[in-house]
Structure 1
Amino acid sequence: MATKPTPGKIKGLKAVSDARGVIAAAAMDQRGSLQKSIGAARGSAASGDDLVIFKELVTKTLTKYASAILLDPEYGLPAARQRNDAGLLLAYEKTGYDATTPGRLPDLLDLWSVRRLKEAGADCVKILLYYTPYEDATVNNLKQAWIERIGDECRWHDIPFFLEPVGYDEAGKGEKTLEYARKKPSVVTKTMEEFTKDRYGVDVLKVEVPVEMTFVEGTKAFKGESAYTRAQALQYFRDAETVTDKPFIYLSAGVTNPIFIETLALAGESGTKFNGVLCGRATWYDGIKIYAQQGAAAFEAWLDTTGVENIQNVNEALKAASPWYLKYGASSLAEL
């Protein structure tokens, strides 16, 4: 059983949870990737204003159906003012990673600190970290020390720390191969096992599911090349859960809404007691082309229909999730 959080951390976790104690959050902190996608769909470069407007529209609509929204302080603060009383998570890392050195090393935003994020209204702080246990030990040691510093900063300011470790192929062959799909369960599980250690100060792990759905036999997402049977996939979900006593939630990892819904159904079928989602592109990604080619009004209309349908599909799938307070031996939010 996890150690009970401090009062500030409990307050922050409650702020981003629904009435059940499940984190049903939307993610809209994409920056570089979003700018490239809008530009590619439009055929000309997207501006910073495009990011601000896109984030405002997503936040204004989807937070009517979400317990919280994840934004970035660079382009997302105007959107934060339109979040319909939903909780607020703010990203602390720079977009992308250092491509000039091996190992996908991260960096923090130059003009921000945990103190400043909290002053800007953040209920929780989020860090994305590209990480694989199979990377060179020197690289991983740098990353681990980096996370320790952030954990201590969040402890000092008594605010929840959400860590989003994203796996990658250290050999550079990519993450969509059969070889990586077979390796992914151990990448996810060993990473969760590492960062559940108290030294890092992580309060919630925002993790990938431990399988690549397109390689799972017996699923709608299956594309014909098998890395695991359905029974094996279910066991990988269970195995990952056993290595942590901390709350953990799933990210959508850029898959389509139907695939993410099927993924959550598989997690539920496995009996895994996950505690929610931080779901981004599975709800709004298909609207990028509409925004880029038809403008803000058309995108808002799309969000009001398809976007809402997408997030309601996620919320329906979240019936399989468990309240995070159970990790602390509480039987209700009121007990904490």
Structure 2
Amino acid sequence: MLTLTKSKRAAMERLSDEQGIIGALAIDQRGSLKKMIAAASDQPVGDEGIVTFKELVSEKLTPYATSILLDPEYGLPAAKKRASNAGLLVAYEKTGYDATEPGRLPDLLPTWSVHRLKEVGADAIKFLLYYDVDEATEINDRKHAFIERLGSECVAEDIPFFLELVSYDAANDDVKSAAYAKVKPHKVNEMMKEFSKPAYHVDVLKVEVPVNMEFVEGYAQGEVLYTKEEATRYFKEQSEVTDLPFIFLSAGVSAALFQETLVFAHEAGSTFNGVLCGRATWKNGVAPFASEGSAAGTKWLKTTGKENIEALNKVLKETASSWYQKVK
């Protein structure tokens, strides 16, 4: 079980509902959000547009979330717009990775530290790590040491450390392919096992589901790669490889599919403790905001965006487990 200090436990409670379930909203995207806004707009998109959209999402949707994940580069104004019920997670990683160098190596924002992020109001620190369990030992060992240092920094500041793990295959860039779907359960569950080790001082894992649901029997529109029984086993195995609280990321799938996935996970016996859901909630609001302005974006968020997050909350209440069961 995870041992939490008094300060970390209080922070975790600020990020969760009364039952110990995390229903967090994620909008820490930077480069990808800029591209989404630019693609839907006839005008050049500057930093102001990104800041404004984050502010709108925070203001209109955090009344229905337990917390929000933002970045310190564009998201701090949005942090001030969040509802009083919503805790604050702040991203610490530099967005993207250097594609010219092998290994998708992690990097930190150069003018920030855990201390500084805590000073601006963060209840927890989030860091994104791309990880291939089968990549060269010298690459993965660098990542292990990096996360050990980051975990120690969070221990020193007595603040929860949320580690977001995104799997990949160094030999196959297409993570949506059937070839990747076949190896995804191994990639996801083994990396969770690795970063559950005490040396990393992780408090909560933010992870993918262990299968691509578009290849699961009963959900697939085409090729089936996993029977329902196989997919069930992978979800169950995911819970068994870690003693840490863990939450699911939406990975950009539709709101409906993400909700169906949570139901499947619960029925499979997964002990996930909530979600940190981003694009599945707000991505379709980018187009009206970018093409028609803030009023149109606000209207979408107050209607469809609200409906998305309320539907997700309903599913969470029926499927997620309390992180209280995993801590002491």
Task: Please point out which of 268, 275, 278 is paired with 1:277.
Answer: 275
C-alpha distance in structure 1 between counterparts of 2:28 and 2:214, whole Å: 26
- Any gaps of 5 or more consecutive residues in structure 2? none
Deviation at 1:43, TM superposition (A): 4.1
In 2, Cα distance between equivalents of 1:43 and 1:4: 51
- How far has the Cα of 1:226 moved from its partner? 1.3
Q: Which residue of 1 aligns with 2:321?
A: 322
SS of equivalent residue, structure 1 residue 63: helix
Structure 1: 4+ residue segments shifted above 6 A: none
Please give the alpha-carbon distance, in whole angstroms, between the structure 2 residues aligned to 1:173 and 1:107.
Answer: 20
Post-superposition Cα deviations, 1:53-95, rounded to whole Å, max 9, x if no partner, equal 0000000011010000000011101000111111000000011
Q: CA deviation at 1:18?
A: 0.6
Q: Which runs of 5+ in 1 are unaligned?
A: 330-336
Question: What aligned pairs does 1:1-336 form with structure 2 within 5 A after superposition?
Answer: 2-85=1-84, 86-219=86-219, 222-319=220-317, 320-328=319-327
- Give the secondary-structure state (helix, strand or coil) at the position aligned to 1:64: helix
Residue identity opposite 1:312 in structure 2 = E
Distance 2:2 2:107 in 1: 29
Q: CA deviation at 1:173?
A: 3.5
| CA RMSD across the alignment | 0.9
For 2:133, give the aligned amino acid.
Answer: P
How many residues align structurally? Answer: 326
**Residue 34 of structure 1 aligns to which amino acid in structure 2?**
L
Query: What CA distance in whole angstroms lies between the structure 1 residues aligned with 2:82 and 2:296?
Result: 20
Deviation, 1:224, is: 1.1
* Amino acid aligned to 2:17: D
Q: Does the residue aligned with 2:174 lie in a helix, a strand or coil? A: coil
Spell out, residue by residue over 1:187-241, the C-alpha distance to the aligned partner (whole angstroms, 9 max, x if none). 110000000000001000000000001101112xx12111101111111100011
**TM-score of the pair, normalised by structure 2:** 0.98
Contact 2:69 2:89 in 1 (8 A): yes
Amino acid corresponding to residue 80 of structure 2 in structure 1: R
Amino acid at match of 2:78: A
Shift of 1:4: 1.9
Identity %: 56
Q: Measure how far apart 1:255 and its partner are.
A: 0.6
TM-score by length of 1: 0.95
| Cα drift, residue 44 of structure 1 | 4.5
| Post-superposition offset of 1:271 | 1.7
Could you tell me how far apart the structure 2 residues matched to 1:20 and 1:47 are? 41
The offset of 1:172, in angstroms, is: 3.2
Q: Do 2:2 and 2:203's aligned partners in 1 also have CA atoms closer than 8 Å?
A: no
CA–CA separation in structure 2 for the residues paired with 1:84 and 1:51: 20
**SS where residue 72 of structure 2 aligns?**
coil
User: 1:52 & 1:211 partners in 2: Cα distance?
Assistant: 34
